[in-house]
Amino acid sequence: MSIPPLVVRSVRQGWQWQWRQLMGGLGPADSDGNYQRPESQPMQTMVLDADDLQRRDPAWRPRLIIGRSCPWAHRVWLMVQLRGLGDSIQVLTATADHNEGRWRLDPSWLSCSSLLDLYRHCGAEPSLRATVPVLVDPGAGPQSQARLLGNDSSPLSAALNRWPAAADAPDLSPPHLETAIERWQSLLQPAVNDGVYRCGFARHQAAYERASTALFAALEQTEEALRRTGPWLCGEVLTLADVRLFPTLIRWESVYAPLFGCTAQPLWMFPALWAWRQRFLNLPGVASTCDSAAWRHDYFGALFPLNPGGIVPDGPSLITLVNRPIPQP
């Protein structure tokens, strides 16, 4: 039985109105329909003293709270792995509660069962959004006041490059490359790291096309740079620039292409970027931070306005996908 055209139009208009309301809470947009990442309250990022860390019982060393699906938390987690900071920073994984739209701590820590509880326990301002990543200093003992050491991924990743580490830990921001790292940050943060969200959360076709064009132009620029000066973004050595790009590109086929519409070109059409991603994934400790099943579960399961049916698609093995040869035309 066919549905009368008037019913189709009415239902469509009603759904579009509801979709706009839901999108307003999920991803704010400007008057031209372009996604705008919510502003975060500035927070000073702190590095603890090496002697202080050495004296502490391991139970009272800092915790980095991450969410497996969050690319911003992923880049900070990578700093812990790449610099071998596991003896001084313990990584705790928060779980995304899709029904309530918050991060859960299970098991609880410092008597806090949610990330919001933990922020409040640490004396955070009520206006500070309870987001991952967040680095927490529980204090030196049971009577100490816990405090937040930082919750913004860019300064946190830079701070962990200065965190007390073994003598052979890599310096991912050497002084002579700091300017180049900042240039990459200025290009990749808005056009790629935020750019995939600008595609997925665009309010209409024109906003999507603007975001997609900027995204793939930045990828092409990155491709050309890697061809000229690789194997890494700043040349011969791995830097913060690579760490900040990897979490976005490793989620490409699992999330950003199928759910956010980042489909103007498949990633294999950028062969230097494809090889760069393979190289990064195969660094020691990196693969253990990558869980494509968790990414699909959280993105497809939580972003209701983009996936009303809540169906989580299957996907190939991440290691197999990333390490396969580039398809030949």
User: Distance between CA 74 and CA 78 in Å, rounded?
Assistant: 6
Correct CATH for 50-161 of 3.30.9.10, 1.10.645.10, 3.40.1350.10, 3.40.30.10: 3.40.30.10
User: Taking CA 20 as the corner, what is the angle to CA 16 and CA 23, rounded to the nearest 5 degrees?
Assistant: 130
User: Distance between CA 234 and CA 181 in Å, rounded?
Assistant: 7
The encoded tokens of residue 97 equal 């509660």
**Regions of the chain with pLDDT less than 50:** none
For the chain, domain boundaries: 1-30, 50-161, 175-323
φ, ψ of residue 223 to 5 degrees: the values are: -60, -45
pLDDT at 300: 95
What is the crossing angle of helices 178-188 and 240-250, to 10°?
30
Alpha carbon of residue 328 to chain centroid: 31
The encoded tokens of residue 17 equal 């109105």
pLDDT at 325: 87
Decide: residue 260, CB within 10 A, 0-12 exposed, 13-18 middle, 19+ buried.
Answer: buried
pLDDT at 21: 67
User: Distance between CA 307 and CA 18 in Å, rounded?
Assistant: 14
Which of 223, 216, 328 is closest to 262 using CA atoms? 216
Long-range CB pairs of 102-110 (<8 Å, 24+ gap) are 102/130, 103/65, 103/67, 103/130, 103/131, 103/132, 105/65, 109/63, 110/138, 110/146
Alpha carbon of residue 295 to chain centroid: 11
In contact, 240 and 194? CB cutoff 8 Å: no
pLDDT at 33: 87
Which of 245, 120, 228 is closest to 185 using CA atoms? 245
What is the crossing angle of helices 240-250 and 71-82, to 10°?
130
Q: State which fold the 175-323 domain adopts.
A: Glutathione S-transferase Yfyf (Class Pi); Chain A, domain 2 (1.20.1050)
pLDDT at 37: 82
Distance of CA 242 to CAs 184, 249, 278, 307, Å? 9, 10, 12, 31
